[in-house]
Amino acid sequence: MSEAVAELPAQASSWSGFRSAQIGWRNLWRNKRRTWLTSGGIAFAILLVMFSMAMQHGQYAAMMENATTLISGHVQVQATQYIDSERFEHTIDEASVLRRQLLALPDVVAIAPRVEAFALVSSDERSFAAQILGIDVAAEAATVRLLDMIDDGRVPAGPDEAVIGEKLARNLDVAVGGELVILGAQKHGGVAALVVNVVGIISSGMPDLDRSLLLMPIAAVQNAFGLGDEVHTLAIRIASLEDSAAVTKQLASRVPADITVRNWNEVLPGLEQAIEVDRLGGLIMYGLIIILVTFSVVNTFIMLVFERTREFGMLLAIGMRPFGIVGLVLWEAFFVWLVGAAIGAGIAIAIILGLADVGLYMGEAMEAMAAQYYMPPRLYPAFTTEVLLVSPLILLLGTQLAALIPALRIRRLRPVEALRSE
Amino acid sequence: MSDVVVRCSGVTRTYQDNAVPVVALQGVDFVVKRGEFVSLAGPSGSGKTTLLNLIGGLDRPDSGTVEVDGVTLNDLSESELSDLRLHQMGFVFQSYNLIPVLSAQENVEFIMQLQGVAADERRERASSLLKDLGLASMAGRRPGELSGGQQQRAAVARAIVTNPVLLLADEPSANLDSGTTQELLELLRTLNERQGVTIITATHDPMVMGYSKRQVNLRDGEIVEDNSSRAA
Ligand SMILES: Nc1ncnc2c1ncn2[C@@H]1O[C@H](COP(=O)(O)OP(=O)(O)O)[C@@H](O)[C@H]1O
Ligand SMILES: [Mg+2]
């Protein structure tokens, strides 16, 4: 006769999730204060994490854009051997042809050709080693902000004009209008000699550059150092930094085999590391916030399961399966999350959108520091899918787990004992 | 179909959870026939609830057997017992019978939903039963908005809407005044007489005993008196 029981319709298949969800939603409002506190905690965590993440992403975007458009460019093209050895003779041949080809690509906005040489620079009294950078003034201005940093004088125009670093000028004891002699080694061993007038002083705030940089028109440097249509570097500005990895790949397929194309993160590995370290710090903070809130949810559901022991006992007694009851609790946890997430994300999105145009002023101290690193004084939060999804989804998982841990006690609940409990 | 709905043979139950084991039932033999209205009477602690729980498949005996409608409950797994309770039993407890966030109508529908009854049929059966029980105007109210007597009526509706083999009621009148108790008992008697519902209640309320056709007295876990005279 026990088959009679086995033949009864299975509960799991007939149990519709709708009534479960409905009960879960209504249960939410049995203890309004507790629900608001728990959902409020979730809302606060989501608001905090979303907003911080948006600011962080905005800051990284600004840092990357500013750092790459200062000198290095978004992407760089160099002879592979030059990257490895930094030796003067490893140049890109027929550079103007390659430059024209690459400029024709749709994502490429500007390309600055550069020749980089070391030489001895002398004034009347003193001599110092300098980094000679031969540049195409117009292309350079279209690619990076290097020339914006000339704060005394003007850009070099003629073949005998130079701009030098502010510290180098002091060391050499020259000012705008002074005269310098440059002595170096040519590609094939001859002596490179130049006499130039100082037409500008550049002060970048970066000690290395200010101590050693000397800018000149590229043709004069190529001439003096025995180079033909050769450069050491093509610094490239692309339409959008976000696409730099893809554009790098595309460029790499267009250059000769002995030439290497590098994305900004290879050219400036320190920048990416700094961002990674900061990101990790952020993640640890977010993790702590989320764990804290999850614990408060665990607490709420321990109390809730405890308070409803008699009710669960009744449900078990009338033949509801333990997992059906666990399901009710999980629905309730889902709605606690939903209310919190809607409020938290709603406020965060409103703030982020509100600040997207005006940005957030970081204060005077930050402004001074930002100016030194050519960062904007305002930070603009960035909206990415990561910002939008990560904290709500992690908290969804967190609240479900937080509810599941106490709810699993229901599996071991004996209806007779549950009904006796007060 | 056998006439016997419940057969308990040599049933014992001892609670071991405390330091001192408590013997709640010691060798109970008990038979209930279809259509009976039995009240288990006896002082508090005499084992009424324990016996009712064993018959309802909520608990298992330490020895002896419990058969309901020909099925030996001892042989069933937990989930089989759960399904048996859902499909064969109707329970009315002293209190906390209903889901507080569902209306009377929804509470009655709920158990049918667990059984997999289609939505239209659920609504139909719940409404007409609540109407029969005089709760038509209360169908949309939640338990908190019902009086104690109305709650117990709704609980009876929830218990019998599935047409169970047995209706088990443990101290159903404990929280009711005598007027409301009488109404509830009239309802139980009507269900028993008109629809042949087999009812077992556990109670120490003399009024409940008066309404039942058969009174079984328990004392210290043993049946000391079985007054079947009114069963005939
Ligand atoms: N879950 C339990 N754990 C321990 N002792 C129990 C438990 N349930 C009942 N008892 C004890 O078993 C005896 C019989 O209880 P019960 O069947 O509830 O009696 P009644 O319903 O007649 O008042 C009492 O002494 C009671 O204290
Ligand atoms: Mg009792």
A201-223 confidence digits (pLDDT tens) = 999 888 889 999 999 999 999 99
Helix (H) or strand (E) run with residue A164 in it: strand A161-165
Q: Which pLDDT does position B232 carry in this prediction?
A: 38
And the tokens for B28?
Answer: 């109970």
From A316, which residue of chain B is nearest by alpha-carbon distance?
B82
Nearest CA to ligand 1 atom 4: B15
From B93, which residue of chain A is nearest by alpha-carbon distance?
A314
- Res A4 pLDDT > 90: no
Q: How far is the CA of B43 from the centre of ligand 2 (A)?
A: 9
CA–CA min distance A34, chain B (Å):
17
Q: Which pLDDT does position A126 carry in this prediction?
A: 93
And the tokens for A275?
Answer: 């961002």
Q: Is B136 helix (H, G, I), strand (E, B) or coil?
A: helix
Percent with pLDDT over 90 in chain A: 75
Question: Which ligand neighbours the alpha carbon of B48 most closely?
Answer: 1
Q: Indicate yes or no: CB of A318 within 8 angstroms of CB of B158.
A: yes
- Res A11 pLDDT > 70: no
Q: Which pLDDT does position B184 carry in this prediction?
A: 92
Whether A222 and A95 have beta carbons less than 8 Å apart is answered as: no
- Res A77 pLDDT > 70: yes
From A415, which residue of chain B is nearest by alpha-carbon distance?
B58
Give every residue of chain B whose pLDDT is below 50, as ranges: 230-232
**Residues whose Cβ atom is located within 5 A of ion ligand 2:** B 49
Order of strands across the sheet with B198-202? B89-92, B166-170, B198-202, B37-41, B214-219, B222-227
Amino acid residing at A400 = Q
And the tokens for A179?
Answer: 């005269």
| Residue A403 touches chain B, beta carbons under 8 Å | no
Count CB neighbours of A8 within 10 A: 15
Residue, of A5 and A156, whose pLDDT is higher: A156
And the tokens for B52?
Answer: 């009712």
Q: pLDDT category, A272, cuts 50, 70, 90?
A: confident
Q: Which of A170, A167, A165, A161 is nearest to A194 (CA)?
A: A161
Query: Which of A2-11, A108-117, A378-387: highest mean pLDDT?
Result: A108-117
| Residue A411 touches chain B, beta carbons under 8 Å | no
| Residue B71 touches chain A, beta carbons under 8 Å | yes
Which whole number is the average pLDDT over A134-139? 97
- Res A361 pLDDT > 80: no
Strand boundaries in chain B, DSSP class E: 4-15, 22-33, 37-41, 63-68, 71-72, 89-92, 166-170, 198-202, 214-219, 222-227
Q: How far is the CA of B23 from the centre of ligand 1 (A)?
A: 9
Write the burial class of residue A182 (CB in 10 Å: 0-12 exposed, 13-18 middle, 19+ buried).
buried
- Rounded CA separation B190/B172 (Å): 16
- Res A1 pLDDT > 80: no
Q: pLDDT category, A375, cuts 50, 70, 90?
A: low
Residues 6+ apart with CB under 8 A from A171: A126, A128, A211
Distances (CA, A) of A36 to A209, A297, A311, A340, A348: 57, 12, 23, 8, 18
Task: Considering only the beta carbons, identify the residue of B56, B83, B101 that sits closest to A27.
Answer: B101
Tokens 């042809």 sit at which residue? A97
What region does B196 belong to: left with phi over 0, alpha with psi -120 to 50, or beta? Answer: left
Whether B206 and B194 have beta carbons less than 8 Å apart is answered as: no
Q: Which of B84, B31, B4, B6 is nearest to B223 (CA)?
A: B31
Q: Is A331 helix (H, G, I), strand (E, B) or coil?
A: helix
Q: For all residues of chain A together, what is the average pLDDT?
A: 90
**What is the atom index within ligand 1 of the atom nearest the CA of B51?**
17
**Lowest mean pLDDT, pick from A196-210, A317-331, A359-373:** A359-373
Q: Which of A316, A318, A331, A411 has the most B C-beta neighbours within 10 Å, making it the best mutation to test the interface with B?
A: A318
B125-139 burial: b if 16+ Cβ within 10 Å, else e: bbbebbeebebeebb
CA–CA min distance A315, chain B (Å):
8
Q: How far is the CA of A370 from the centre of ligand 2 (A)?
A: 77
| Residue B114 touches chain A, beta carbons under 8 Å | yes
Domain spanning B4-228: which superfamily? P-loop containing nucleotide triphosphate hydrolases (3.40.50.300)
Q: pLDDT category, A351, cuts 50, 70, 90?
A: very high
Binding-site residues, ligand 1, Cβ < 6 A: A 417, 420; B 15, 17-18, 22, 24, 42, 44-50, 202
Domain boundaries, chain B: 4-228
Task: Considering only the beta carbons, identify the residue of B75, B87, B100 that sits closest to A8.
Answer: B87
Q: How far is the CA of A316 from the centre of ligand 1 (A)?
A: 19
| Residue A7 touches chain B, beta carbons under 8 Å | no
Which whole number is the average pLDDT over A161-175? 96
Q: Which pLDDT does position A329 carry in this prediction?
A: 96
B164-203 burial: b if 16+ Cβ within 10 Å, else e: bbbbbbbbbbbebeeebbbbbbebbeebbeeeebbbbbbb
Q: Is B4 helix (H, G, I), strand (E, B) or coil?
A: strand
Q: Which residues from chain A sit within 8 angstroms of residue B86, using beta carbons?
A: 8, 11, 318-320
Q: Indicate yes or no: CB of B86 within 8 angstroms of CB of A319.
A: yes
Question: Helix (H) and strand (E) counts for chain A?
Answer: 18, 12
pTM of the model: 0.82
Q: Which of A32, A49, A25, A28 is nearest to A344 (CA)?
A: A49
pLDDT tens, residue by residue, A273-294: 888 998 899 999 999 999 999 9
